[in-house]
A and B are shown apart, each in its own frame.
Chain A
Amino acid sequence: MLSILRTLWNIFLHAFQRRETVQYPEEKPYLPPRHKGRIILTRDPDGGERCVACYLCAVACPVACISLQATEDETGRRYPEFFRINFSRCIFCGYCEEACPTYAIQLTPDFEMAEYHRQNLVYEKEDLLMSGPGKRPGYNFWRVSGVKIGGKDKGEAENEAPPVDLHSLLP
């Protein structure tokens, strides 16, 4: 008997507590940057495409919803010829972001992706690529990797010695 009355009293008190429900979409909740929502492709600080088409996101994806094809520009810089995410399959697990060795692929707090037609959930590179570096402002893979690309010869990456002179007789 007493417990029933206590329960009724508690319920009555709840009527005066602060509302957790917000009037979405008029009112938008705060989502932290690490929230796993819509996937984007970012650019490095120099404005170049960060994705080097290494296929690691694709292989990490548990629903296999990422597919791409690598290609190279005339200087040897690798980038995806196409990059496709089928968001109708994506489970927003974030494994792709974890696998990405260049911080190219990132998940954003945006989740408002509903479509009337499933086909519209297939995003191509044009739909994914944004103009900035996203959550990792300073990183540029090409500055630390040992391959030669346009504007960066062998030995010019960070923490690299100049190329060995094979004709030198010095020990």
Chain B
Amino acid sequence: MTKIFVDGKAYEVKADQSLLQACLSLGLNLPYFCWHPALGSVGACRQCAVKQFRDEKDTRGRLVMSCMTPAADGTRISIEDAEAAAFRKGIIEGLMLNHPHDCPVCDEGGECHLQDMTVMTGHDYRRTRFPKRTFHNQYLGPLINHEMNRCIQCYRCVRYYREYAGGHDFDAFSSRSQVYFGRYQDGVLENEFAGNLVEICPTGVFTDKTLKRHYTRKWDLQFGPSVCVHCGLGCNISAGERYGTLRRIVNRYNGEVNGYFLCDRGRFGYEFVNSAERLKQPLQRQDGKLQPISKARALEALAGLLADPKKVIGIGSPRASLEANYALRALVGADRFYTGLSASAARLTAVALEMLRRGPARTPSLGEIERADAVLILGEDVTNVAPRMALALRQSVRQQPMRKADQLKIPRWLDHPVRELAQDQKGPLYIATPAATRLDDVATETYRAAPDKIARLGYAVAHALDAGAPDVAGLSEAERSLAARIAEALKSAERPLVVSGPSLNSEAILQAAANVARALSAAGRAPSLSLTAPECNTLGVTMIGGGSLADAFQAVKSGSADTVIILENDLYRRASARAVDEFFSSARHIVLLDSVTTPTVQKAELVLPAATFAESDGTLVSSEGRAQRFFEVYPPVGEIQSSWRWLRDIMMAAGRREAAAWQDLDAVVASVSDGIPALAAVAQAAPSASFRLAGAKIPREPHRYSGRTAMLANINVSEPKPPEDSDSSLAFSMEGVFAQPPASLIPFFWSPGWNSIQSVNKFQEEIAGPLRGGDPGVRLLEPSAAEPRAYFTPASEPTSGSAGEWLLVPLYHIFGSEELSRLAPGIAELSPQPYVALNPEDANALGVQEETSVTLSLESVSRTLPVKLMPGLARGLAGLPAGILPIEGSGLPAWSRISRA
């Protein structure tokens, strides 16, 4: 702690930060543009000028940029000094010279950092008479809108995009007052984190194009604190609704998880909630066709189906909340509940869970991943499987070079000198995958091979770290020395990290990763092991426990069950069409609860419309093992309701009185935490519904929310009573106290004078630190102190197909591989068409070119697909897009013949 004086008052602040950070942490208002907590200081915009005094006798002082000046002990500054204030006002006037007269039609208006700073400095009148500079805009894809006239040249976008996110196709062009930020020509921004430009840009140059299509100002949105459902990382989001449709997603800061940034799938995938594919009322099959019926009739029909409870099984889902899965388990009984994961996914997740529980490696949060200083990735294409983690890993390679800055006493927040010092130096990041990944540009070395060989490399690394770990035979000299280099890098790191996961469907890879972590621990390091999870609640449903989908198929086949209740799950995405069809034809009754129309709907006898994440509350367990609560953004319309409420109603209809206690979410959460010992802590993920802030509920709407007496007046001029929320301490209202709610209940960030998302500064304990009262979520997994398990032993030989066979491996896509986000038009536009990827040399040998049709013969099915040449793909492999093509046989990897069609 150091002591600084601001306007004559003494404050205790944390050392090693800039004056700007110190002042903002203290809650003082100081305008800025080019500084961003995640990007550091460059001193480009001159907006944060303050007066600094030598000592208490100095009355003249001098202007300094607070972002470039360290908060050293005894520093005396003045923010309110007349000269400093006039300087800041002048800077804004200069920045506004060319700013167009278009706030009324600008999507940033009302949450614009430039507006806020202009008001803060007091600049209110345009004096210049010269013409304004103008620019043409660019087309940047279906997700981001470009309006270059509004630019104030703060350079944040290009610093974020190129230096932080590692993009290459965006830059600053031209010179002097004509600097232009864009691509070298029109086209879709390539980086998967480009959507953050919307929040990074202090004004309206980059705005959300999906929001533009149903534009609503920030003050008119009803927000709910939510958790992203499009991958397993559990990034915190703030979702906004107006007139009954979901309008947009913005980042909800969580210091330990997503920090300031989201991936584009998470930010723009929300439109599935508004999609035409939504199920809106109960459907019953009559004469072969699904016909809408009333809720009462649906429940009546269900009660009939459940007459013999011994014959009913339930299939849960990794994309449904813990509460919904638990309610289904309660309905059918623990021994007749199946997790809904495919056999291989269930096995791999169980293995992963066991590894994380036994230790010795700890599962790191995304914040800890960012601070790791040596990383080994085994088999995961992180950018496409757990996108936000890739952005964290991209920062982790800066950890080792930044130590040099520490030695030279250059503070880490002084962004430009630190980057100049590091130049192109990167900390160790080793990537072993079948195909090239988007992180390769920062990788120390990459290794391209089939899944089995990747696992063998992992075993070799473990052996090189600890001679006690089993070795693998048959590695080439190059592979041996690579393993030795990886081992050396991990061993000499302070915070080594191993990233792996189930994407390649290989238990061997997971075991190899566990061996590396175990060997690191044996070598005296404290390793982290991050295992990705494919869906938002894969870990949660596995913790609830139950058989896999294959077991469910077996139960019906053997005749021990004939009625199936499926919860938010499209079985055709988890098993081959043949297996699922066979299952459906052998089951007598199929009941489905889901929010969107899937191929499974076409097989169901009774379909109940479930709420999406935006219309329901629940808890999800992220791949870190963090249980996080998401809250309703708006009440579900019509017959739609949360899955757990449907299941409760079904139980009541079937005469199961114990469900009567489930009147609100807290009761279900309590049942989950009592019923499943591993999930005992979920009740602490967020305060209960009885929590009150200064005696009132927390408003979901900003206090400026407009149109309350007109939005429904066309239906009835007498306004209805606002809906009540019995499930949480949030209210569907603008009425409440302006005070900071507990971190997991913050619907949106706003503070007087700070309308933009930058107002998050006011909610943190310190800048870029945790939210006041601790970051949201509760960790469920900590490694046990018991003796770590023995090393896994590798298989003696990698598997191989017969001559002429290719190993098909899944290739993941951030846009397209995930089920729900594909229904969002913007994401759908960026999704790839089905293809088979081949290494160009392999393609040459086969005599095929790009776009040539080839036929794959897989088990008994054959499929014709166009060839896509992929130079980064290992030889002998063929890649198929995951989640885009139907599953054949037992899924990928699989051996197949390829021939010209």
A contact residues vs B (CB 8 Å cutoff): 52-56, 58-59, 61, 63-72, 78, 84-86, 88-89, 101-102, 118-119, 121-122, 124, 141, 144-148, 154-155, 157, 159-164, 166, 171
Contact = CB atoms under 8 A, between A and B. Distances in A.
Contacts of B173: 166
Pick the 5 closest A-B CB pairs, nearest first: A146-B100, A67-B707, A54-B104, A58-B706, A67-B710
A59 B755 CA distance: 14
B706 A52 contact: no
Counting chain A CB atoms within 10 Å of each CB, which of B109, B173, B178, B215 scores highest? Answer: B215
B254 interface: no
A147 B175 CA distance: 23
Interface in B116-174: 129, 131-137, 147, 149-150, 173-174
A146, A147, A155, A163 interface centre (most CB from chain B within 10 Å): A146
B710 A65 contact: yes
Main secondary structure of the interface of B (DSSP, over half): loop
Contacts of B176: 171
Contacts of B105: 52, 54, 78, 145, 147
Nearest to B219: A59
Given A59-B706, A154-B149, A159-B131, A122 B713 contact: yes
Given A56-B104, A154-B137, A160-B134, 20 more contacts: A52-B104, A58-B706, A63-B709, A64-B706, A65-B709, A122-B714, A122-B717, A144-B101, A145-B102, A145-B104, A146-B100, A146-B102, A154-B134, A154-B135, A157-B101, A161-B132, A162-B134, A164-B174, A164-B180, A166-B178
B717 A164 contact: no
Interface string B95-117: 00000111111000110000000
Interface of B: 100-105, 109-110, 129, 131-137, 147, 149-150, 173-176, 178, 180, 212, 214-217, 219-220, 243, 704-711, 713-714, 716-718
B104 A101 contact: yes
Contact of B101 (A68, A145, A154, A163): A145
B704 to A, nearest CB: 5
Contacts of B219: 55, 59
Contacts of B710: 64-67, 84-86, 89, 122
B137 A148 contact: yes
30 contacts: A53-B215, A54-B103, A54-B104, A54-B105, A55-B219, A55-B706, A56-B104, A59-B220, A65-B713, A66-B706, A66-B707, A66-B710, A67-B711, A69-B243, A86-B713, A101-B103, A118-B717, A118-B718, A121-B717, A145-B102, A146-B134, A154-B135, A154-B136, A159-B132, A160-B132, A161-B132, A162-B134, A163-B136, A164-B178, A166-B180
Nearest to B214: A69
Contact of A119 (B102, B220, B707, B717): B717
Contacts of B717: 86, 88, 118-119, 121-122
A4 B815 CA distance: 93
Contacts of B220: 55, 58-59
A64 B707 contact: yes
Given A52-B105, A58-B220, A146 B149 contact: yes
A147 to B, nearest CB: 5
B217 to A, nearest CB: 5
Contacts of B714: 84, 122, 124
A104 B718 CA distance: 28
A53 to B, nearest CB: 8
Nearest to A58: B706
A154 B708 CA distance: 37
Contacts of B708: 64
B100 A86 contact: no
B846 to A, nearest CB: 43
Contacts of A144: 101
Contacts of A85: 710
A80 B212 CA distance: 13
Contacts of B716: 119
B97 to A, nearest CB: 12
Nearest to A68: B707
Contact of B104 (A64, A65, A141): A141
Given A163-B136, A171-B176, A145 B707 contact: no
A145 B102 CA distance: 5
Contact of A70 (B100, B136, B215, B705): B215
Interface centre among B131, B135, B717 (most CB of A within 10 A): B717
A72 B213 CA distance: 8
Given A65-B709, A66-B707, A166-B174, A146 B101 contact: yes
A68 B243 CA distance: 10
A88 B132 CA distance: 44
Nearest to A162: B134
Contacts of A121: 717
Nearest to B106: A147
B796 to A, nearest CB: 61
Contacts of A66: 706-707, 710
B111 to A, nearest CB: 12
A95 to B, nearest CB: 12
B104 A84 contact: no
A142 B716 CA distance: 36
Nearest to B705: A64
A11 to B, nearest CB: 47
Contacts of B132: 146, 159-161
Nearest to A156: B134
Contacts of B243: 69
Scoring B105, B136, B706, B713 by chain A CB atoms within 10 A of each residue's CB, the highest score goes to: B105
Contacts of B178: 164, 166
B728 to A, nearest CB: 24
Contact of A164 (B134, B147, B704, B706): B134
